[in-house]
Amino acid sequence: MVSESINDRSIRRRAAAAVAVGLIVVVAWVMARDVRNNEEGELAKSAAVEDQFTPEKCIQRWLEAAQAGDAETYLNCFAERMHDRLASGFNSRSADDSNARLKSGTVDLKSYVTTETKRISETEATLLLERVYGDRNDKERVRLKRFGDQWKIVEMTPVDRFSPEIPYGTLVAPEVENEKDTPRTSDTKP
Per-residue pLDDT 10s for the chain (190 aa) are 555 566 777 777 776 666 666 667 666 666 766 666 666 655 544 444 445 689 999 999 999 999 999 999 999 999 999 999 999 988 888 888 888 999 988 899 999 999 999 999 999 999 999 999 988 999 999 999 999 999 999 999 999 999 888 878 888 777 666 656 555 544 445 5
Chain-centroid distance of CA 136 in Å reads: 25
Q: Cα separation of 28 and 39, whole Å?
A: 16
State phi, psi for 110 to the nearest 5 degrees. -95, -40
- Those residues whose C-beta lies under 8 Å from the C-beta of residue 17, and which sit 6 or more positions away, are none
Instruction: Output the pLDDT for position 45.
Output: 47
Instruction: Output the pLDDT for position 172.
Output: 79
Reference 161, options 188, 136, 189; nearest CA is 136
Instruction: Output the pLDDT for position 47.
Output: 43
State phi, psi for 122 to the nearest 5 degrees. -65, -25
- By three-state DSSP, how is residue 79 classified? coil
Please check whether residue 83 is in contact with residue 75, taking contact to mean a CB–CB distance below 8 angstroms. Answer: yes
Burial of 99 (0-12, 13-18, 19+ CB in 10 A): buried
Please work out, in degrees rounded to the nearest 5, the angle formed at the alpha carbon of residue 139 by the alpha carbons of 50 and 152.
35
Task: Please give the single-letter amino acid code of residue 7.
Answer: N
Please check whether residue 151 is in contact with residue 125, taking contact to mean a CB–CB distance below 8 angstroms. Answer: yes
Residues 163, 166, 61, 161: what is their CA dihedral angle, to the nearest 10 degrees?
-10
Q: Cα separation of 93 and 75, whole Å?
A: 14
The whole-model pTM stands at 0.63
- Across the strands, what pairs with 184? none
Please check whether residue 145 is in contact with residue 154, taking contact to mean a CB–CB distance below 8 angstroms. Answer: yes
State phi, psi for 105 to the nearest 5 degrees. -70, -15
Q: Cα separation of 154 and 98, whole Å?
A: 21
